[in-house]
Chains A and B, each alone.
Chain A
Amino acid sequence: MLPLVLPPTVLGYGILVLMGRRGALGGWLREHFDYTVIFNWHGAVLASMLVALPLVLKGASSAFAQVDRNLEAAARTLRQSPWSTFVRVTLPLAWPGILAGTLLAFARAMGEFGASLMVAGSIPGQTQTASMAIYDAVQAGRDDLALMLALIVSAVSVAVLVLSNRFLQRSPS
């Protein structure tokens, strides 16, 4: 849950210190595999994932908590194995909540700016996120481009919110 409350720049700095070319893990990766996540889309994915992961976890854990234990017990009395019970009873019941959390995480990752910028930079066509493109467009005085991008991002965000609410309403309560 920590990434949810930490400022993205703190998270970005942490990744930079750990995964940078002179970082503990980054230095090792670079030496042995000639690989780095810095200034590379892998870095943007890593940052977005860390930032958004708590939303998936939170959505999934509350979805699992809401599954009726009696239904699981009933499946067990009907000679279903624990695995079969999980796949055929628990997961289908929790699924809408997991999906809703995933959608929220997607929206959060789409808006990622601070951590990604520090780790992956803003390289057009490679690591530039939609939020960075808006920031760059405003800095360069291209308000038309900024407005267009802002409208697209807002439309997608609203769609995600509506969808995730639908899923939540469908989940057993």
Chain B
Amino acid sequence: MKRLLLSLSLALPLMASAQQLTVSAAASLTDAFKEIAPKFEATKPGTTLRFNFAASGVLLQQIAQGAPVDVFASADQETMNRGVDQKVIAADARRDFAANTLVLVTPTQGAPAIATLADLKKPEVKRIAVGKVASVPVGRYTQQALGSAQLWSALSPKLVFADNVRQVLDYVARGEVEAGFVYRTDAELAKGKVAIAMTVGGHAPVTYPVAVVADSKQAALARDFVTFLGGAEAQAVLARYGFGKP
């Protein structure tokens, strides 16, 4: 009995401090964030991180409709700006913590030779996977890049729109499309199945902002996570996955 009481009294303070932080993050951050989570949890005993990965536009939509989220990490500035304009994201704790590159990938097996964006007009290239322009940042970067190259309308009939960047990657890896536009960090994860044909320019710089959600019930802890992402430990993980500094 004494032992039970003792263990209970030991457990109580732990239970009191047990808290869950919900982080909605862009799909391209999936692997890096899963590795960063235990490192953050180690600095705050009793804290558990819960992730929700999807296209940034979809995540913002969920937050705007009242999803109980504490931190939002987007793959572009535009989505975050929209969140701040709608007053669902607190502007003060916002910071950029990573950067990425847009690349054109092809399946390693049986893909036509593609060296320039204009090669996508070849008849052998039947389908090109891109993110949905309205809700997926990588789709918007792709639209800007193909727009700068005067190719967007010419290639439109070939485009297949995906729900997020990882779906684009999957379409290419399965060989269902001849080419797709993803981030370099995603292409690196599917090495062996996809090959990087070229680095694509002509779009806004790919930078990742993170901020605290306005309705967060744990704003202080959320801020701690935002700060942690800028720290050496998290930055080392991001660098290992190929993310650049903002």
Contact = CB atoms under 8 A, between A and B. Distances in A.
Interface of A: 16, 20-22, 38-39, 121-124, 136, 138-142
A136 B176 contact: no
Interface in B160-176: 160-163, 174-176
Contacts, number: 47
A38 B175 CA distance: 11
B178 to A, nearest CB: 10
A21 B175 contact: yes
Contact of B177 (A39, A140, A141): A39
B7 to A, nearest CB: 45
B161 A39 contact: no
A38 B129 CA distance: 13
Most A C-beta atoms less than 10 A away, residue of B159, B160, B162: B160
Contacts of B175: 20-22
A114 B61 CA distance: 21
A16 B163 CA distance: 18
Interface residues of B, number: 19
Interface of B: 55, 57-58, 60-61, 64, 127, 132, 134-135, 159-163, 174-177
B134 A140 contact: yes
A139 B134 CA distance: 8
B57 A39 contact: no
Contacts of A21: 174-176
B177 A139 contact: no
Nearest to A21: B175
Across the A-B interface, the 3 shortest Cβ-Cβ residue pairs: A140-B134, A139-B135, A121-B160
A121 B163 CA distance: 10
Given A22-B174, A22-B175, A139 B127 contact: no
Contacts of A140: 57, 61, 132, 134-135
Contacts of B135: 136, 139-141
